[in-house]
Amino acid sequence: MTNRTSLIAWRVLLSIIAGALAPLSLAPFDYWYLGGVSVALLFTLLHHCSPRAGAWLGWCYGLGFFGSGVSWVFVSIHEYGNASTLLAGAMTALFVAALAILFAIQIWLYTRLYRNLIGFCALWILFEWLRSWLLTGFPWLYLGYGLVDTPLAVFAPLGGVWLLSLYVVLTATLLVTFVKRLKQPLQAATILMVLGLPWVAIEQNQIPSNWTTPVGEPLKVMVVQADIPQQLKWSPSQLETILQTYVNLSQDSDKVDLLVWPETAIPSFYRTAKTMLSPLITYLESNDTALISGIPSIYRDPEAPKGRRYTNSLTLFAGGSGSYDKQRLVPFGEYVPLENQLRGIIDFFDLPMSEFSLGAPNQPLLEAAGSQIAPFICYEIAYPELVREQSLESDLLLTVSNDTWFGHSSAPAQHLQIARMRALETGRWLIRSTNNGISALISPEGKINTTIPAYEQAVMIGEVRRMQGLTPYQEWGIKPLQIVIGLLLFIGLITAPRSRLTRKEL
């Protein structure tokens, strides 16, 4: 092996390792500093790198990044899609390789047009934002989530998770630049001053921590985590047993204002469920207790196959009326792209719930227990702008999920961390109800107030507060940060070095 070939192999390997480090900064590992280490290593590897080499190294970084962070999709495909280990592994690898293309494009643009710190940071946030909507979006693994338990979390209400991601990337690249500028004291000192400004602002209490205020009396909430096995959930013969399990676990609901069951807790349609649950509904109504549960809904639709369509929904069964239909569906889990070509190939493409349709935008809030509740189903809570827009008129957030699909992987902990960031960004209490964990009541500061451990059948009772007012991020969204990123992209472009590379790296 020549020296050049050895150098290339090392750079490829280090790129993969750098990408794999980033998800370790997030839950459940929470080594928050590794996000910055990952970025710094990638930034260093791109020094004197051709655009072609940059694209390859970016793709390798993406392989490590998504391979380490979202390989839990293997569990869904293998355990619940009945795909063989080999086939599930191949599909997971294809999924990771496809997502990694985004990093290849990002780094190609950097090495082709910028080659400076400003452009690197701006492109990173631009591509995190693109991942929130491109091809329906996959807004997962944002670096800013790793700061949710640090003092820097106070900046989340100002610019959301993307502002925290910008801090991680900017800090990492500035530290690399600082090391390079050690022989230039003035520049090195300037870098240290910039790095210290956020901490000085925090230390001097210059960043408000309470943008919203509580109103009214505390709301008593009961969350039921029934831990129903996924293999039994959609079996018609199990319907009565499943509903009775939820009824039995809800016996103390007369002591609370709001009772919440998780995503598709009721594996049947409303009319059947309401009849079977009528004794509980009567009991709840007599005690002024509201019940919100996940349930599939069916609608007549002449344009849909067989004249009807289905939605993944949240519905009020007691203490009010109203429902919410999910607006962001999980590809292959709730709908099948290229359905005519893929249906029937393997069980994974025929999973229960894989025929859902999108709910309408701008649906009304749920009104229950005197609260205006902004509802979100499953990974909808991962969309910062969706949550922001729907929560503007709310005083409480609610998210339900069924993370059973992901087994004992890192996904449930990642999902909970994302929900915590949404509470922090909007300054509202958030109720999280899941089938098998991790259920929690989350404060406006993003802290877990009450929780149920994962993989347990249990009931959680606690208090939340209605909140009024708006955080800056909730009011303005990502627009101010988009303007900043646009300016940085322009400045980075006009200040980019013009000298050509003397040799190609790949």
User: Within this chain, do residues 180 and 33 fall inside the same structural domain, yes or no?
Assistant: yes
pLDDT at residue 293 tops 50: yes
Q: What is the pLDDT of residue 503?
A: 46
SS3 category, 214:
strand
In a domain, 353, yes or no: no
User: Binning pLDDT at 50, 70 and 90, where does residue 356 land?
Assistant: confident
Q: Is the pLDDT of residue 504 over 60?
A: no
For the chain, what is the domain count?
A: 2
| 263 in active site | yes
Residue at token pair 């004992």: 408
The enclosing domain of 236 has a CATH number of 3.60.110.10
Q: Determine the 3-state secondary structure of 398 from DSSP.
A: strand
pLDDT band at 502; cut points 50, 70, 90: very low
| Closest CA relative to residue 327, chosen from 401, 380, 260, 390 | 380
105-117 pLDDT per residue, tens:
999 999 999 999 9
Distance CA 392, CA 43 (A): 38
Residue 460 lies in a domain: yes
Specify the pLDDT at position 40. Answer: 98
Contact 480, 463 (CB under 8 A): no
* pLDDT at residue 83, rounded to an integer: 81
- At 204, the pLDDT band (50, 70, 90 cuts) reads confident
If asked whether residues 318 and 293 sit together in one domain, one would say yes
Q: Which of 326, 385, 425, 505 is catalytic?
A: 326
Q: Measured between alpha carbons, how far is residue 271 from residues 235, 285, 298 in Å?
A: 18, 18, 10
Q: What is the pLDDT of residue 499?
A: 59
| Mean pLDDT, residues 49-78 | 93
Q: pLDDT class for 39, splitting at 50, 70, 90?
A: very high
3-state SS string for 54-83 = HHHHHHHHHHHHHHHHCCCHHHHHHHHCCC
Residues 460 and 485 occupy one common structural domain: no
* pLDDT mean over 373-379: 95
How far apart are alpha carbons 310 and 92 in whole angstroms? Answer: 28
Contact 166, 50 (CB under 8 A): no
Hey, what's the torsion of the CAs at 58, 63, 65, 69, to 10 degrees?
160
Catalytic residue among 49, 378, 380, 385: 378
Distance CA 277, CA 255 (A): 19
**Is 389 in the active site?**
no
Mean pLDDT value across the chain: 91
Does a structural domain hold residue 502? Answer: no
Give a yes or no: residue 501 inside a domain: no
> What's the DSSP call for residue 331?
B
CA nearest neighbour of 399 among 297, 295, 261: 261
Of the candidates 197, 151, 150, 149, which has an alpha carbon nearest to the alpha carbon of residue 171?
A: 197
Whether residues 195 and 273 fall in one domain: no
Residue 51 predicted with pLDDT over 70: yes
Residue 143: pLDDT above 90?
yes
Model confidence at 146: pLDDT above 50: yes
User: 251 and 147 in one domain?
Assistant: no
pLDDT value at 480 more than 70: yes
Cis previous bond, 28, omega within 30: yes
Average pLDDT over residues 250-262: 94
On the question of a cis peptide bond just before residue 438, with omega within 30 degrees of 0, the verdict is yes
Residue 443 to residues 213, 219, 237, 388, 426: CA-CA distances in angstroms? 12, 13, 39, 16, 11
Residues 19, 92 within the same domain:
yes
Using CA atoms, how far apart are residues 69 and 406, in angstroms rounded to an integer?
13
Range with the lowest mean pLDDT among 268-272, 304-308, 387-391, 467-471? 304-308
In DSSP terms, 396 is beta-bridged to: 373
Backbone dihedral angles phi then psi of residue 377, each to the nearest 5 degrees: -110, 125
CA-to-CA distance for 46 and 121, rounded, in angstroms?
13
- Non-local (6+) Cβ contacts of 374 within 8 A are 365, 366, 387, 390, 391, 394, 396, 397, 398, 428
Q: Please give the DSSP secondary-structure letter assigned to residue 336.
A: -
Q: Which residues of 109-134 are buried (b: 16+ CB within 10 A; e: fewer)?
A: bbbeebbbbbbbbbbbbbbbbebbee
CA pair distance 447, 148, nearest whole angstrom: 9
Residues 279 and 132 in one domain: no
Q: What is the spatial distance between Cα 414 and Cα 70, in angstroms, rounded to a whole number?
A: 10
Q: Which of 195-209, 242-256, 397-411 has the lowest mean pLDDT?
A: 195-209
Same domain (yes/no): 186, 224? no
Task: Tell whether the model's pLDDT for residue 448 goes beyond 90.
Answer: yes
Name the token pair of 51.
Answer: 């655009």
* Segment among 246-250, 427-431, 434-438, 458-462 with least mean pLDDT: 434-438
Residue 341 located in a structural domain: no
Q: Is the pLDDT of residue 169 over 80?
A: yes
In angstroms, the CA 281 to CA 272 distance is 13
CA distances to 94, 108, 411 from 52, in Å: 22, 7, 33
- Residue 337 domain flag: no
- My answer on whether 217 and 202 are in the same domain is no
Q: What is the pLDDT of residue 9?
A: 87
Q: What pLDDT is stored for residue 332 in this prediction? A: 54
User: Which position has the higher pLDDT, 407 or 438?
Assistant: 438
Residue 169 counted as domain residue: yes
Based on the domain organization, do 260 and 196 belong to the same domain?
no
Share of the chain above pLDDT 90, in %: 72
- Would you list the DSSP string of 178-211? HHHTTT-HHHHHHHHHHHHHHHHHHHTT-S-S--
For residue 411, count CB atoms less than 10 angstroms from its CB and return exposed for 0-12, middle for 13-18, buried for 19 or more.
Answer: buried
Give the domain extent around 372.
213-301+313-328+364-470
Summarize pLDDT for 313-351 with one digit per residue, the tens. 999 999 988 899 999 877 655 555 444 544 455 555 555
Cross-strand bridge partners of residue 434: 401
Work out the average pLDDT over 187-195: 86
Q: Which of 128, 263, 334, 425 is catalytic?
A: 263
Instruction: Please tell me whether residues 226 and 204 are part of one structural domain.
Output: no
As a whole number of Å, the end-to-end CA separation of the chain is: 15
Report the percentage of the chain scoring pLDDT > 70: 93
Tell me, what's the pLDDT at 84? 87
Catalytic (active site) residue 326: yes
Task: For 137-181, give the DSSP string.
Answer: ------GGGGGTTSGGGGGHHHHHHHHHHHHHHHHHHHHHHHHHT
Evaluate whether residue 342 is within a structural domain.
no
Q: What's the predicted TM-score (pTM) here?
A: 0.93
How does residue 147 score in pLDDT terms, banded at 50, 70 and 90?
A: very high
Residue 166, Cβ neighbours under 10 Å: how many?
23
Question: Across residues 456-482, what is the average pLDDT?
Answer: 97
Query: Are 386 and 433 part of one and the same domain?
Result: yes
